[in-house]
Structure 1
Amino acid sequence: MKFSYVNPTQIHFGQGQIETVASSIPTTEKVLVIYGGGSIKSNGVYDQVAKALESHTWQEFSGVEPNTTKETLDKAVAIVKQDGIDYILAVGGGSVIDGSKYVAAAAKYDGEGWDILTGDHQVTDATPIGAILTLPATGSESNMGAVITKAETQDKLAFLAPAVQPKFAVLDPDVMKSLPEKQLINGIVDAWVHVCEQYLTLPTNAMVQDGYAETLLRSLKSLGEQFEQRDNDEWRANLMWSANQALNGLIGSGVPQDWATHMIGHELTALWHVDHARSLAIVQPSLLRNQLQYKRAKLEQMGVNVFGLDKSEDLAERTIYAIEQFYLQLNVPTKLTEHGSDKAAAIDAVIDQLTQHGMVVLGENQSITLEKSREILTEAIA
């Protein structure tokens, strides 16, 4: 284990913490508030933000969509450049926060913003960002990653840059009260797979990372099993904190990571607009079965330490089945149906996208070739 770890995002966690925005952003800074479809105006969050910013000069940009697009975000980039915005406040879930990271980086670049996603521009400077999390799932509020879609070409790509890591993040579980059940379920699944991507790899004897990952998985499993308690303050707080800790960099420090489920899942979202979390639930069981020879030891460890399964020769297989049942218990499908009736064409479309995006070898062992991706898709697509 050799690694460097720092997480510079200041977290303001708990009820009523939106008021901390007032002191988190200097009053001398001109602020752009970026949000999504407007639900924050009906659930009281917008009013709290406005009160916190009453001593600031600020304006707003709305309409950031789920699986946010470059085309929409470029309009916000123009505002930041033209109006001399000093600070961005992202109010929303992962898509809004990811989108704000793109805006923050692209506003400091004179070229085409998509260059950031293709790697043709390396981000070293960005407009400072703060975040108010309204939908726990991605952990984007305290990490340096973002995923953006280019609608014109159906490309969905990611970038990482320390410069876009939020300076602070407000995590108030009360803002979850108005969330639809489907979004809460997506949050559980998304956080679950984030942990798995950093845990279900190779044995490393990294006791802290493994132990913490297992604690998060057991917590998320319990939250799923106790879904009927979702109107409980403690349930909301535990989901919000679990989702944050799942992808703030800690459990992945010094250990191998996978992320192939995400890379394949992104293509399902780009092509058929499948919810991000649900694309992961579709891909992961098939991928685990396909890569069983490499992942058997960690699957067995997960089976015992997360699901409480007895040791046996087929423990790894039973663990995959338990993961699948966890999703199905939440009414999250594990097979793709959105593609229509032509399965062969759907598989070819995903393989074409993976090829175009350079995703020709994936996984912690680089063992998921395009041929293996095709095998995974053959099982994952109905």
Structure 2
Amino acid sequence: MKRKKILFFIYTMGKGGAARTLLNVMNNLDRNKFEPMLVTLNHDGEYEQYVNEDVQFIKLEAKRLRSGILPLAKIIRKEKVDIVFSTIPNYNMVAILAKMLSFTRAKVVVREADHVGGSLLGNLKCLVYGRFYNRTDQVISLSEGVKQNLVEKYKLKPNAIEVVYNPLDIENIKQQIEIGELSKEVAPIFNQNEKVIVTAGRLVKQKDHDTLIKAFAETNEQVKSQLVILGEGPLEEELKSLAQKLNVEDRVHFIGFQDNPYIFFHEADLFVLTSIHEGFSHVIAEALASGTPVVSTNCKSGPSEVLANGEYGDLCPVGDPKSISEAMTETLTLPPEALQMRVSKGEERAQFFNANKIVSRYGQVILNTFKK
């Protein structure tokens, strides 16, 4: 069978779960079946350095999404692309329009990664996206919850959507833990005779770090701890003020984006996620693979699927510092044997999302578009 040329389109290979997912899919696709190429706008991204050498990488001259439609259409035509793959609504719209303007028979596969909508404006946007998604050859949802949202708010037919979970590159995670080293500035946080709690994500409203810091302040009264926050975003100063107001500013550490978050997960005693909504929550699966217990909000719609309704980690109500604090305290005070059992179960669960298996599923779903 002739290899299919698949073009992955994204704004930038920057700090985010979408870029990390595309990276895992591109790098692990079966080269006997696919010839992957990557197209981004003219921006530098932290994950570019991890793209395999055999992936053709093109940066458009454009820096804005709408300016990238025609250049992307030209590449689709010039490179004789068989499949255009994109993720996130705005990028998906560009990919769909570019394919249409390429006047080729390339297949379009779009991936929806979050549980969006809710407000009047948000629901209207979903309807518009749905109109365009209906013009694609395949819609991929990264969780059952997101699929349900696509049916309800995008008005897509259930049989037009395939659920494929995020691929987890466990081998790379283990390698990064092995070669990773905490910096001299950060190492002392982990070397005290106290528990360390870690989280990772953009400092934005969706991740609800407010609730996390409030829960941490309560937990710290029971178990002396340190909170390490990985990520950047517009709410950093506001969150620092909250930590100061709660008298834990010397125990809450904002250390920004990290190329290797896995060494932080591995060295910590607990990973906590307090998001208001998620599509899948890749970072929870990464924490499990790093050998770290997890406490998460039971937000729509990913955490409960990753943690199998609480079998592999605690699920708490959204925006409830008290219940999150109680779960954190309980986990941090587990007897050694119970803790090891929980870690082992988490690592076992992470294998369910192993990149080799999940990317194979991606490949099959994409190839099936040629049978329709």
TM-score normalised to the size of structure 1? 0.30
Q: Indicate the structure with greater strand content.
A: 2
**Larger helix share, 1 or 2:** 1
